[in-house]
């Protein structure tokens, strides 16, 4: 029996996103061939690779204990995937839910897409940094032992300071920025929609908002198409989603219970969707509530296009930045070294 991982972070480290996508995609195919989730997991345990067999065996144990698929998958997949599966379990449309889960996994790797499609840009960034670090370690720092920094030319000082930052301070910057985005995301997830909307349209934050909106729209669309009302679907999704999205859903549930305007557009006006998107939903559903599921599906597709456009846009920005950065680093380093030689240091 495989070890049961209680730590979700460790489970994610042993079950990479690429394997997760293959796992979920294969299960969707099996379900469309009339196999049950349990039967598919049994086949994976018997014939699958070790990377898939270990989590499959773990999930199979849960399902044999009469747990639903979404519960069995907890710890092995991110919350947005569990949310997608839970939406399909409520109306026996798990195959469609698995398709939504694949989309969620693909969208969740947006940074990986940007970096993966711009390997040359990353190489340029490395090249520019390596040139400066090498000059710092083998030229600037040894020279500093001979002559004080105050006698150096301004360009040499700049090149030295940049190298010093990379060699001795870069880890602090990485930790600081990572901590900032983590805490800022947690902070925004717990504030009102009015406050959060001030930041949710900024770069990076906007893509995170659109990503979460896409996953929620896909789950709600699937449930509404099966005639599951908002007051039943929203609490179901709330139990198994991300903290950021959970705060939006809590606001939606509160609006449903307020007894005021319960149209889907007004309920979802929490800052997750743009005003234009909410207006479009209101126009298309105000006189025909049965079309809500299809309208939300259209909105999901629109958000998907926004995410795809973001990948392209940030890729272009990364390419331009890498070229400017590398040229600047090499130029400053070269001039700095030349200046040292010219003044006889």
Distance from C-alpha of 218 to C-alpha of 100, rounded to nearest angstrom: 6
Same-domain check for residues 168 and 300: yes
Q: Is 57:45 a contact under the CB 8 Å cutoff?
A: yes
**Dihedrals phi, psi of 77, to nearest 5 degrees:** -130, 155
Q: Is residue 101 in a domain?
A: no
Question: Using 50, 70 and 90 to split pLDDT, how confident is the model at 274?
Answer: confident
Q: Is residue 158 in a domain?
A: yes
Domain end (from 36, 60, 77): 77
Model pLDDT, residue 9: 60
Distance from C-alpha of 203 to C-alpha of 227, rounded to nearest angstrom: 36
Report the alpha-carbon angle 300-304-310, nearest 5: 145
Same-domain check for residues 39 and 127: no
Question: Using 50, 70 and 90 to split pLDDT, how confident is the model at 128?
Answer: very high
Same-domain check for residues 114 and 72: no
Q: Which of 78, 303, 81 is nearest to 213 (CA)?
A: 303
**Dihedrals phi, psi of 74, to nearest 5 degrees:** -65, 135
Q: Is residue 96 in a domain?
A: no
Question: Using 50, 70 and 90 to split pLDDT, how confident is the model at 146?
Answer: confident
% pLDDT > 90, the chain: 37
Model pLDDT, residue 247: 82
Distance from C-alpha of 315 to C-alpha of 292, rounded to nearest angstrom: 35
Distance from C-alpha of 224 to C-alpha of 296, rounded to nearest angstrom: 9
Same-domain check for residues 117 and 260: yes
Distance from C-alpha of 247 to C-alpha of 271, rounded to nearest angstrom: 11
Tens of pLDDT, residue by residue over 199-233, are 788 887 888 889 889 989 998 888 888 777 788 88
Same-domain check for residues 193 and 336: yes
Q: What average pLDDT score do residues 173-188 get? A: 80
Q: Which of 50, 57, 48, 64 is nearest to 5 (CA)?
A: 57
> What is the residue range of 16's domain?
8-77
Q: Is residue 86 in a domain?
A: no
Q: What average pLDDT score do residues 24-53 get? A: 92
Structure token digits, residue 161: 């300071």
Model pLDDT, residue 345: 46
Q: Which of 213, 255, 195, 211 is nearest to 230 (CA)?
A: 255
Q: Is residue 97 in a domain?
A: no
Distance from C-alpha of 203 to C-alpha of 207, rounded to nearest angstrom: 7
Q: Which of 21, 51, 24 is nearest to 37 (CA)?
A: 24
Q: Is residue 124 in a domain?
A: yes
Q: Is residue 37 in a domain?
A: yes
Q: Is residue 279 in a domain?
A: yes
Q: Is 81:109 a contact under the CB 8 Å cutoff?
A: no
DSSP 77: B
Same-domain check for residues 146 and 70: no
Q: What average pLDDT score do residues 308-329 get? A: 94
Same-domain check for residues 39 and 153: no
Helix (H, G, I), strand (E, B) or coil at 2: coil
Please tell me the total count of domains within the chain: 2
Q: Is 260 exposed, middle or buried (0-12, 13-18, 19+ CB in 10 A)?
A: exposed
Distance from C-alpha of 81 to C-alpha of 265, rounded to nearest angstrom: 25
Which residues are within 8 A (CB) of 332 and not within 5 positions of it... i.e. 6 or more apart?
132, 155, 158, 159, 162
Same-domain check for residues 188 and 246: yes
Same-domain check for residues 59 and 142: no
Domain end (from 30, 57, 77): 77
Same-domain check for residues 164 and 71: no
Same-domain check for residues 72 and 115: no
Same-domain check for residues 178 and 258: yes
Count CB-CB contacts under 10 A for residue 37.
Answer: 22
Q: What average pLDDT score do residues 113-139 get? A: 91
Query: Which alpha helices (H) appear in the chain, and where do they start and end?
Result: 8-14, 17-32, 37-47, 50-64, 69-72, 79-89, 94-108, 110-116, 119-135, 141-144, 154-164, 170-189, 193-196, 205-225, 230-238, 243-257, 264-267, 275-285, 292-342
Model pLDDT, residue 59: 92
């Amino acid at each position: 029996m495989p070890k049961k991982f209680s730590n979700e972070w460790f489970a994610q480290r042993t079950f990479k996103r690429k394997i997760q996508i293959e796992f979920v995609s294969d299960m969707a195919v099996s379900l469309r061939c009339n196999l049950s989730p349990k039967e598919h997991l049994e086949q994976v345990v018997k014939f699958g690779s070790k990377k898939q067999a270990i989590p499959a065996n773990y999930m199979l144990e849960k399902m044999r204990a009469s747990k639903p698929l979404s519960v069995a998958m907890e710890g092995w997949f991110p919350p947005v995937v569990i949310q997608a599966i839970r939406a399909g379990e409520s109306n026996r449309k798990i195959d469609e839910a698995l398709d939504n889960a694949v989309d969620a996994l693909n969208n969740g790797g947006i940074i990986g897409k940007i970096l993966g499609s711009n390997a040359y840009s990353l190489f340029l960034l490395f090249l520019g940094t390596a040139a400066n670090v090498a000059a710092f370690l083998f030229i600037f720092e040894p020279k500093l032992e001979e002559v004080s920094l105050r006698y150096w030319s301004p360009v040499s000082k700049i090149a030295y300071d940049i190298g010093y930052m990379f060699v001795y301070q870069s880890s602090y910057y990485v930790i600081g920025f990572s901590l900032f985005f983590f805490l800022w995301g947690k902070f925004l997830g717990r504030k009102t929609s009015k406050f959060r909307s001030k930041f949710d349209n900024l770069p990076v934050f906007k893509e995170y908002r659109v990503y979460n909106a896409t996953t929620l729209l896909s789950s709600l669309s699937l449930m509404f198409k099966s005639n599951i009302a908002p007051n039943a679907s929203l609490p179901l999704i709330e139990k198994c989603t991300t903290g950021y999205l959970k705060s939006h859903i809590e606001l939606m549930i509160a609006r449903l219970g307020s007894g005021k305007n319960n149209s889907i557009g007004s309920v979802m006006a929490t800052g997750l969707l743009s005003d234009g998107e909410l207006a479009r939903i209101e126009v298309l559903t105000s006189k025909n509530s049965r079309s809500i599921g299809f309208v939300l599906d259209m909105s999901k597709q629109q958000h998907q296009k926004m995410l795809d456009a973001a990948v392209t846009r940030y890729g272009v920005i990364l390419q331009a930045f890498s070229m400017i950065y590398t040229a600047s680093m090499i130029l400053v380093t070269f001039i700095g070294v030349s200046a040292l030689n010219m003044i006889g240091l």
